[in-house]
């Protein structure tokens, strides 16, 4: 039976189901959907049941001394981004949109790692830069929501990126992640062997998000995202401390990416798509482009322009959360 938590009526041009619909899950992944009938997360790790206490070290919470269902059981949305300031700004933005009062206290201040703010059903959390930092945060948040018995959470990542053949200031909603070897996978060494996990975002969620951004005043695109393991050579830049490729080789590579459907380059998308998919949660990666990488490497825009651009993914994601909150949660 379909258990899609539809936000919009069906559209002939959209996917009919979310990727984590139980009706289609076994078709996609050939295993039981990792969600219980009530929408809570069923983590695919039997070892967790053997723990007397699970310490979520990097968040500063544990299952013994904290009442996680009371603290986080109502969470419906998790919005992640690189810096503490960005995610505090997003918390303020969504508090205004949802008309919810908050003291914007950092709930993970004691861990000295990340910053977490809660505004009603929304968690706004910083994840640092790059896949290793992001995946630590993401996996502990997934465990946190499992223990809290949160139902059908939806994850967003907001951030900045370099664009490919689209104007600076455009927003890209990722359809899939591509790694540095041009594979649509998140490659992680486990027990001495590299495991390749498919890296695709929920198509219908991306379509819904874009549909709410038709009049925002800047371009929004659905397309592929390359997630690099390095800011300089890994992204074909010429301005790092070490460079062993030419400008012609750089342009050839960037044009190849564009021909493959890549719209932007950042440093988290492959792992974000792969791990949220494995956990059975819907997710979207929404990033603004600060420059067209075919025209240069340096991020040289003014502080005012940067501040304006950085708000754009917040506006797009904020619209989705606000509509969902008003239509489904508040009433």
Q: What is the mean pLDDT of residues 13-22?
A: 92
- What pLDDT shows up at residue 24? 85
Q: What is the mean pLDDT of residues 278-307?
A: 96
- Token pair, residue 154, equals 């939806």
Q: What is the mean pLDDT of residues 108-115?
A: 93
- What pLDDT shows up at residue 23? 87
Position 331 confidence tier, pLDDT thresholds 50, 70, 90: low
Percent of the chain exceeding pLDDT 70 equals 99
Position 2 confidence tier, pLDDT thresholds 50, 70, 90: confident
* Coil vs helix vs strand at 70: helix
CA dist 73 and 76 (Å) reads 9
Query: Which H/E stretch holds residue 117?
Result: strand 116-119
Q: What is the mean pLDDT of residues 104-109?
A: 95
68 vs 29: which has the higher pLDDT: 68
- What pLDDT shows up at residue 32? 83
Give the chain's mean pLDDT. Answer: 95
CA dist 159 and 272 (Å) reads 13
Q: What is the mean pLDDT of residues 154-163?
A: 98
Q: Give me the DSSP letters along 231-292.
A: SSGGGT-S-SS---S-HHHHHHHHHHHHHTTEEEEESSHHHHHHHHHHHT-EEEEEEEEEEE
- What pLDDT shows up at residue 239? 96
Q: What is the CATH number of domain 22-329?
A: 3.40.50.1580
Answer yes or no: are the C-beta atoms of 238 and 244 closer than 8 Å. no
CA dist 95 and 93 (Å) reads 5
- pLDDT value at 22 more than 80: yes
- pLDDT value at 208 more than 70: yes
CA dist 276 and 205 (Å) reads 13
CA dist 321 and 147 (Å) reads 23
What angle (nearest 5°) sits at the alpha carbon of residue 164, between those of residues 159 and 168? 60
CA dist 72 and 56 (Å) reads 14
Q: How many residues does the chain have?
A: 331
Using one digit for the tens of pLDDT, what is the confidence trace for 69-96?
999 999 999 999 999 999 999 999 999 9
Answer yes or no: are the C-beta atoms of 127 and 116 closer than 8 Å. no
- What pLDDT shows up at residue 1? 80
CA dist 148 and 76 (Å) reads 11
- Token pair, residue 26, equals 């076994």
The residue extents of the domains of the chain are 22-329
Q: What is the mean pLDDT of residues 135-145?
A: 98
Predicted model pTM: 0.96
């Amino acid at each position: 039976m379909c258990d899609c938590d539809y936000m919009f009526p069906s559209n002939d041009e959209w996917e009919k189901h979310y990727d984590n619909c139980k009706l289609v899950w076994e078709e996609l992944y050939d295993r039981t959907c990792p969600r219980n009938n009530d929408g809570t997360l069923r983590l695919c790790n039997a070892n967790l049941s053997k723990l007397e206490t699970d310490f979520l070290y990097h968040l500063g919470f544990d299952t013994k001394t904290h009442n996680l269902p009371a603290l986080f059981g109502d969470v419906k949305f998790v919005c992640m981004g690189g810096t503490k300031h960005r995610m505090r700004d997003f918390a303020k933005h969504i508090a205004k949109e949802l008309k919810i009062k908050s003291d914007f206290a950092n709930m993970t201040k004691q861990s000295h790692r990340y910053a977490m703010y809660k505004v009603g059903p929304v968690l706004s959390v910083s994840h640092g830069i790059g896949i290793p930092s992001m995946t630590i945060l993401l996996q502990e948040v997934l465990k946190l929501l499992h223990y809290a018995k949160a139902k059908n959470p939806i994850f967003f990542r907001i951030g900045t990126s370099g664009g490919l053949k689209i104007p600076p200031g455009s927003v890209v909603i990722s359809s899939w992640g591509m790694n540095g070897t041009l594979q649509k996978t998140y490659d992680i060494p486990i027990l001495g062997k590299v495991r390749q996990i498919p890296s695709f975002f929920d198509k219908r969620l991306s379509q819904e998000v874009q549909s709410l951004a038709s009049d925002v005043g800047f371009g929004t695109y659905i397309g592929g995202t390359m997630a690099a393991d390095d800011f300089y050579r890994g992204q074909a830049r010429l301005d790092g401390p070490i460079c062993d490729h030419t400008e012609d080789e750089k342009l050839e590579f960037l044009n190849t990416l564009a021909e493959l459907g890549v719209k932007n380059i950042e440093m988290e998308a492959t792992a974000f798509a792969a791990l949220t998919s494995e956990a059975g949660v819907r997710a979207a990666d929404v990033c603004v482009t600060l420059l067209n990488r075919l025209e240069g490497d340096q991020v040289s825009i003014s502080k005012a322009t940067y501040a304006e651009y950085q708000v754009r993914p917040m506006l797009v994601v904020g619209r989705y959360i606000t509509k969902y909150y008003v239509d489904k949660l508040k009433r």
